[in-house]
Amino acid sequence: MSVSDPNTDAEDLIASLAGGLAAADRERFRREAEATLALSPQSCLGPGSIYRTLVPVWRKFFHPTRDDRVTGRDRDRQRYSNNLIAAPAIGRDRSVG
């Protein structure tokens, strides 16, 4: 069983998490992530603890893009009428108004 190097694990994870951020936020995230890890006890820095330490920092910098895409299902719903929606309810007495 090999023992992983915490510094390599941290650098790899920081690079991976920074890739999903906006270009303007990447450097600030890197600096804050490295500062946060520097405050963590070195004896506890395994891959899992590095991840749990960095994810809250990453969440401060991650801003999801707005999804305004219209899917085919949305277009079809607008384009075609649906007999199940347009017809009266099943079992309803049509003679009673």
| pLDDT on residue 1 | 42
Rounded to 10 degrees, what is the CA torsion of 76, 79, 80, 85? 90
Tell me, yes or no, if the pTM score tops 0.85. no
User: Tokens standing for 35?
Assistant: 């500062």
Higher pLDDT pick, 90 / 1: 90
Q: What is the mean pLDDT of the chain?
A: 80
The sign of the dihedral angle between the CA atoms of 4, 8, 11, 13 is negative
pLDDT, tens only, 12-34: 999 999 998 999 999 999 999 99
Do residues 34 and 11 make contact, with C-beta atoms less than 8 angstroms apart? Answer: no
pLDDT at 64 over 90: no
Angle between helices 23-39 and 47-61 (to 10 degrees): 140
Nearest one of 81, 46, 73, 60 to 17, comparing CA atoms: 60
Higher pLDDT pick, 38 / 76: 38
Quickly count: other Cβ atoms within 10 Å of residue 32's Cβ.
16
